[in-house]
Structure 1
Amino acid sequence: MISILLVPMLVLGSIPVLHPFTSKPGKKIWMTILGIGSVFALFFFAVDFAHYAYLEQRLNASALNYLEDAKISMGMVWQSYPIVRLVLGILLMAALLIWIFNRVHRWVSKQTYTGTKRSRIFFFTGTFLVCGFFIFGRLAQFPLRWSDAFALGSDYKAGLSLNPFESFFSSLKFRHSSFDQKKVKELAPVIGSNLHFTPATDPLSFARQVAPRPGALTTRPNIVLVICESFSAYKSSMFGNPLNTTPFFDSLCHQGVFFDRCFTPTYGTARGVWATITGTPDVEMPKTASRNPGMVDQHTIINNFKGYDKFYFLGGSTSWANIRGVLTNNIDSLHLYEQDDYSAKKIDVWGISDKNLFLEANKVLAKEEKPFFAIIQTADNHRPYTIPEEDQAEFQKKQYPYDSLTKYGFESNDEMNAFRYTDFGYRKLIEAARKEKYFNNTVFVFVGDHGIVGNADALFPHAWTAQRLNTMHVPLLFYAPGLLAPQRIHNIGSQVDVLPTIAGLSNIPYRNSTLGKDLLDSATTGFAFVFDPDNNMTGVVKDGYLYRKQLMTKKEELVSIINNDPVPNDAAHAAIMHDMGVLTDALYETAKYMLLNNKKAGK
């Protein structure tokens, strides 16, 4: 923050009329700015200290919401804090700083500088770069961000390391993030009936203890959860795409438990990772929940895997979208592996290749003596669609005519080959894992982080393209030969169901406080909530229909996802639309509530 103030002074102060030492107007201007800046900084820290004393949270933009009830809020502040002494303290400290600035300014003004033009340029450039370094925060691909504070291992350490400017201005765009408590309470029974639990006496409490269910594994299996970048279902071999882009993964699906109607709540990797880890759809707007400091504290079922070592492997940096804060702040004793932790070389902006990421993760997991829960997040199936030189002899690229590519969902051969390269990576992971002792007692779970928009008309009814359902349709596979009998399941599921299903399968008792459900529980009702932040739409996929509602205009639509026939305009389908509309409202309002209230146990 100091450097942000100094850089304009350095640049503008080099203009003669604004020079802080040789120009009288320049001196007045900069001394005034320094004085105002001092008062501003002292005020921020004073309010920050009071805010932390009251809420045990560093100052953030949600404090501005108190202005909506300004009279009551100011009365509380006046009666709770020594306002007069605080104001006097701020003014006295500001006066002291201004006096110091003036003393230093007079001392510097008396000095004589005889440097050459070259030396002036050298010192100017050096100072500019030093300030730039402190603004960026570290020598790395991504700047220092507020989420890095939560890598320290506790909320207190994170709070201690933050500063009020960063926490306030980072959260400013999110200050209107809220929920309608009355609606959440009214719709709680809808959530309970669809998730098959009875809400507690407190209708705002959705937490329920889930006991191990019959048919679960009793071997304390290892878990390897692979979050697959842009793994769009209609582009893959499992759904009959003639380009046969994922033949190996298709073979795994014939050997495992494959859910062919799984949907992500929304589009985007950050939102997909959030939904998978927390079990709550990310309905935050305009930015993602991972970027909101007020939502960084979240419960995750992963912590119910007691006695398991926890790992997260990413080929690049978790500074992206502030995911580091979500992971390190919420997953107990997490071993986080990023780009600089591997021997493999970086190939593009996303870090090392997916193939090498899988091999590096396998090397770590092969040394484990305890049960483990490992998450591997891929990135290659993404622009710039890099295929590493080291793999191009074994991985043979293919070329198809443009009309064939566009007919079956691809915009270019580069995109299609990058999609094929993901299949190459999955093969390398399974081949390497089969050689290790952990393989026979491991459940591999693969789920797409999101789908990709494109033309799916050759493979699915038109609604999948026209209503953008293909951007949320992803494969979900549980692969554990010897532990799970192969089956293909058509029941509708969601990304938020992944962790409850893993826990149920693993014979783990767990606390579920989110919107996820165990897809392998025979009592489960199949449905998936969907959210389109770009078009302000919410909806539900259930049975053979997609229901959507525009948040601003409240316009509703009901379309078939099993054929191209128009939905009949009759009483029966009006009732279906009404019920799906109520469920949509319940899921959306509850998701908004959970983003701010699904905190770790004990919080």
Structure 2
Amino acid sequence: MLFLQRIPKLLRWIFSVVIILLVTMTIFRFIFYWRYNPPGKAFSGSAFLMGLRFDARIACIVGLAMMLLTFIPVLNPFKNNGATKFWNFLLPLAFAIVVLFYFIDFYHFDYLHQRLNASVLNYLQDAGISFSMMWQTYPLVKAAIVLIILLVAARFLFGRLLASYLHQDSFYKRRGVLLHVISFIVLAQIIVGKIVVRPGQFPLRWSDAFNLSDDFKSNLALNPFQSFFSTLSFRNSSFDIKKVKADYDLMATYLEVQKPDSSQLNFERNYSTADSAANRPNVVLVICESFSAYKSSMYGNPLNTTQFFNEISKNGVFFDRCFTPAYGTARGVWATITGIPDVESPSTASRNPNAVNQHTIINDFKGYNNYYFLGGSATWANIRGLLTNNISGVHLYEQGDYKASDIDVWGISDKNLFLEANKVLKEQTKPFFAVIQTADNHRPYTIPKEDEGAFKKLSFSTDSLKRFGFESNEEMNAFRYTDFGYQQFIEAAKKEKYFDNTIFVFVGDHGIRGSAGDMFPKSWTEQGLTCEHVPLLFYAPKLLQPKRVHDVCSQVDILPTVASLAKTPYRNNTFGRDLFDSIPAFQGWKVVPKQKFAFIIDHDVKTIGLISNQYYFLKNIKTGKEDFVSMLNNNPVEKNPQTDSTRNYLSRLTDAYYETAKYLMLNNKKK
């Protein structure tokens, strides 16, 4: 008691309110657990601890607001008796808002099996129908009575609490300022949720709940305030169901949906194999940071920046016309893992809590151990939620999990990332699916001192750098260092038993906008395709015959292709297609070659489009302006019935692809 008396009564009052709110939210979490816990699922202490951190954040926001308001003398009840009425109204109101949020959240989960999010505001557009449904489904009268009772109880509790502190004596006034500063720091730190001590770390985010790797645990941990306000900027991330249904037949035909159903919008395709691989191959998928095609040796860049990758490309199946659906690392990872172009704008799909539940073909690799390696933090772009919530049993290695030291904001070097991953993979006795995500080919372009002996920096004139796609020698050498990392990894892997039975896949997460010079037709530079054009290599010397393929393809095609190569039955509910499947398709009674397209959305200039082997059709979704250019030469596309027909088809398919992507982003849920 003597210790408490050393704390100013203003602070004791504030922290008492914080504790009351925290206890209230914890009680509601237990109620949620008792009501919705699946039968047979054990109590999850980790979910409650994570939830406590979210609850503490909300309670401390209230506490910090109280502290800031009481800095105003007229609102300080310990300096102005008139302020008592203000607080005896405000605190019960805040308590009522908390309780109301939990009531709505409780029934929202009962109805949709999702914690409260900002999409609930969309029901206001049909308020009459929505209210009628709620009135007929839920005990709203009882809920209102309980809410009123709790509000009256809160008014009594907070009134008595403030009155008790007002009648206490103050002690140790000389320490008051210091204790106020300490209290402010404590409240702020709890709001941040983590002690962030180095670059690359992030405060507590909604996606941390999904690190629990269990849907119910994740939902149990979430706080309705956290989930609501995290989704507020995404509340209009939706789709036009009328457009999706209108375009369904076109998309179902293009995707070769096996059981078309326009009423249920079925996009599911199930693929089996005639025989299964006796010795199932491992898969290592390397997502390469900023791997611009036109900057690399495989496309004839005179600076010869990727000599090693160029050599292994000659010994693998190399797709030289691969495109990412969008620019940006988070968008590239999203498309590769889910098979859906990231059409979220202006933010990314990985940051949208409503889209965190996604089916991925990786989970169809039954009996495989799943791994994800990156040198930095998985909290970046909330990518953790995408990985841990959707890749079954994934072993996530990130910043802090390695023996190697960080070199910059992106964590450990790519070379060390590869070698650390190799150490883990060589110990595996079961087949594995591993994803390695690099980062060094990115500002600040760090070359570790430990590699300066083995890796020799080069220097070119400014004129040569500009002419062949680079801004500086630092950028060019960072690009070369990625090639050094690939070499170190493959040479290390070749010494291990797993190498001969592993399919290595290398793909760029995105390209970099710039001039491709004379290496490609002008349309590639003028239409910004250098942003999305990346190398794609399937490398398995013991399993695949070398080949260079000129057909257009996309990141979304990678997982279906890998599953097919590994003779793994899989379910595909999104856009990807097996790149090795060249069997002609049937349209009516006519046999035609399968059409290959790559969808691109440029979020910066607001265009969407499709690339074929011959043409690029694109349109601006703001202005409606369209372009139709050649992918083969610098000549304008000749206008004739055939090109008009192609343009019209690509225009319709572009719109259908875009609308379907918006729909599937929110409707590709795990089974």
Band of TM-score, shorter chain: over 0.9
* Cα distance in 2 for residues equivalent to 1:500 and 1:255: 22
Q: Residue in 1 aligned with 2:396? A: 336
Q: Is the 8 A contact 1:218 1:506 kept in 2?
A: no
Q: Residue in 2 aligned with 1:482? A: 542
Secondary structure of 1:24's aligned partner: coil
Q: Residue in 1 aligned with 2:113? A: 56
* Cα distance in 1 for residues equivalent to 2:303 and 2:560: 34
Q: Residue in 1 aligned with 2:317? A: 257
Which range moved further: 129-138 or 233-242?
129-138
Which structure 2 residues correspond to residues 118-517 of structure 1 after superposition, within 5 A?
A: 119-140=175-196, 141-202=201-262, 204-212=265-273, 219-517=279-577
* Cα distance in 2 for residues equivalent to 1:169 and 1:109: 35
Q: Residue in 1 aligned with 2:167? A: 110
- C-alpha spacing 1:71/1:600, structure 2 compared with 1 (3 Å): same
Secondary structure of 1:339's aligned partner: coil
Per the TM alignment, residue 30 of structure 1 is displaced from its structure 2 partner at its CA by: 3.9
- Structure 1 runs of 4+ aligned residues shifted over 6 Å read none
Letter in 1 for 2:426: A
Per the TM alignment, residue 193 of structure 1 is displaced from its structure 2 partner at its CA by: 3.0
* Cα distance in 1 for residues equivalent to 2:76 and 2:484: 61
1:224-245 Cα offsets, whole Å, 9 max, x none, are 0001111111111111111111
Q: Residue in 2 aligned with 1:545? A: 615
Secondary structure of 2:422's aligned partner: helix
1:171-194 Cα offsets, whole Å, 9 max, x none, are 111112222223223322322333
Q: Is the 8 A contact 2:372 2:435 kept in 1?
A: yes
Q: Residue in 1 aligned with 2:94? A: 37
* Cα distance in 1 for residues equivalent to 2:526 and 2:62: 50
Letter in 2 for 1:419: F
Secondary structure of 1:530's aligned partner: strand
TM-score, normalised with respect to structure 2: 0.87
* Cα distance in 1 for residues equivalent to 2:259 and 2:347: 31
Is 1:581 the equivalent of 2:641? no
* Cα distance in 1 for residues equivalent to 2:388 and 2:331: 17
Per the TM alignment, residue 27 of structure 1 is displaced from its structure 2 partner at its CA by: 3.8
1:82-131 Cα offsets, whole Å, 9 max, x none, are 222212222221222232222222222233334354x2232122111211
Secondary structure of 2:165's aligned partner: helix
Per the TM alignment, residue 392 of structure 1 is displaced from its structure 2 partner at its CA by: 1.8
* Cα distance in 2 for residues equivalent to 1:103 and 1:383: 57
Secondary structure of 1:261's aligned partner: strand
Of residues 599, 607, 610, the one that matches 1:529 is 599
Letter in 1 for 2:73: P
Q: Residue in 2 aligned with 1:561? A: 631
Which range moved further: 467-476 or 13-22?
13-22
* Cα distance in 2 for residues equivalent to 1:490 and 1:194: 20
* Cα distance in 2 for residues equivalent to 1:393 and 1:23: 71
Per the TM alignment, residue 64 of structure 1 is displaced from its structure 2 partner at its CA by: 1.1
Per the TM alignment, residue 19 of structure 1 is displaced from its structure 2 partner at its CA by: 2.5
1:114-160 Cα offsets, whole Å, 9 max, x none, are 4354x223212211121112111123411111111112122111111
Letter in 1 for 2:76: H
1:470-522 Cα offsets, whole Å, 9 max, x none, are 10000000111121111100011000000000001111111111100000111
Letter in 2 for 1:548: L
Q: Is the 8 A contact 1:9 1:30 kept in 2?
A: no
Letter in 1 for 2:121: L
Q: Residue in 2 aligned with 1:46? A: 103
* Cα distance in 2 for residues equivalent to 1:538 and 1:186: 19
1:195-216 Cα offsets, whole Å, 9 max, x none, are 34444234610111112279x9
Q: Is the 8 A contact 2:515 2:525 kept in 1?
A: yes
Q: Residue in 1 aligned with 2:76? A: 19
- C-alpha spacing 1:218/1:501, structure 2 compared with 1 (3 Å): farther
Q: Is the 8 A contact 1:407 1:458 kept in 2?
A: no
* Cα distance in 1 for residues equivalent to 2:518 and 2:191: 51
Per the TM alignment, residue 217 of structure 1 is displaced from its structure 2 partner at its CA by: 6.1
Letter in 2 for 1:73: S
Identity level (%) = 56
Q: Is the 8 A contact 2:248 2:262 kept in 1?
A: no
Q: Is the 8 A contact 2:286 2:436 kept in 1?
A: yes
* Cα distance in 1 for residues equivalent to 2:132 and 2:222: 28
Q: Is the 8 A contact 2:249 2:262 kept in 1?
A: no
Q: Is the 8 A contact 1:461 1:562 kept in 2?
A: yes
* Cα distance in 1 for residues equivalent to 2:477 and 2:168: 66
Secondary structure of 1:375's aligned partner: strand
Which range moved further: 283-292 or 569-578?
569-578
Structure 1 runs not aligned, ≥5 long: none
Letter in 2 for 1:408: F
Q: Residue in 2 aligned with 1:72? A: 129
TM-score, normalised with respect to structure 1: 0.96
Is 1:81 the equivalent of 2:134? no
Secondary structure of 2:372's aligned partner: strand
Q: Is the 8 A contact 1:308 1:371 kept in 2?
A: yes
Q: Is the 8 A contact 1:13 1:26 kept in 2?
A: no
Q: Is the 8 A contact 1:213 1:504 kept in 2?
A: no
* Cα distance in 1 for residues equivalent to 2:364 and 2:425: 20
Letter in 2 for 1:551: I
Q: Residue in 2 aligned with 1:599? A: 669
- C-alpha spacing 1:147/1:568, structure 2 compared with 1 (3 Å): same
Secondary structure of 2:458's aligned partner: coil
Per the TM alignment, residue 595 of structure 1 is displaced from its structure 2 partner at its CA by: 0.7
* Cα distance in 1 for residues equivalent to 2:294 and 2:77: 64
* Cα distance in 2 for residues equivalent to 1:340 and 1:444: 26
Per the TM alignment, residue 167 of structure 1 is displaced from its structure 2 partner at its CA by: 0.8
How many residues get paired? Answer: 599
Letter in 1 for 2:74: V
Q: Is the 8 A contact 2:252 2:260 kept in 1?
A: no
Which range moved further: 470-479 or 108-117?
108-117
* Cα distance in 2 for residues equivalent to 1:55 and 1:574: 46
Which range moved further: 510-519 or 183-192?
183-192
Secondary structure of 2:666's aligned partner: helix
Which range moved further: 17-26 or 175-184?
17-26
- C-alpha spacing 1:398/1:23, structure 2 compared with 1 (3 Å): farther
Per the TM alignment, residue 40 of structure 1 is displaced from its structure 2 partner at its CA by: 1.2
Q: Is the 8 A contact 1:171 1:292 kept in 2?
A: yes
Q: Residue in 1 aligned with 2:36? A: none
